[in-house]
Amino acid sequence: MNPPAGFLARQKLVAGVVTAALLALGGALYGALPDQMAIHWNAAGQPDNVVEKPIAVLMMPAIVVFVSVLFEVTGSDVGERIVGSLAMILLFVVQLMVFGVNLGYDVPIVPVALALAGGLVAVAVWFETR
């Protein structure tokens, strides 16, 4: 197994790194983030769901932990763990974009998220067919 695949196969490690990074980044940015944060956008790129800041900061790390536990409970194979790790990395990037938008940066969140999701599917298929 090549080094990137070997790292991604260690899904619990990836989950730990992603969760720690999200919590550290959320803590570092917490004071600068607005009290109400956009967390979802419609196809036109307009925010259509906002939540309180603590929820927006803690929700993605909680999802990553939940997904990691789900992989452990279901006894997933190496390929599934790699895909799960890729999904967790995608969630990390999405949270970065959420923070950016809520800090006032002009992030084209819809096209970037769609491109990332398409890339995730392509890489997952590539890993599964090897």
* Interatomic CA distance for residues 49 and 22, integer angstroms: 20
Helix (H) or strand (E) holding 51: strand 47-52
Structure tokens at 47: 């925010």
Our count of domains for the chain comes to: 1
pLDDT of 2: 63
Listed ranges 26-35, 69-78, 108-117; the one with the highest mean pLDDT? 26-35
CB 108 within 8 A of CB 101: no
Backbone angles phi, psi at 38, to 5 degrees: -70, 135
What is the tens place of the pLDDT at every residue in 17-26? 999 999 999 9
Residue 34 domain boundaries: 3-129
Query: Considering the entire predicted model, what is its pTM?
Result: 0.84
What is the tens place of the pLDDT at every residue in 68-96? 888 888 877 777 788 888 889 989 999 99
| Bridge partner residues of 40 (DSSP) | 49
Average pLDDT over every residue of 23-46: 94
CB 23 within 8 A of CB 61: yes
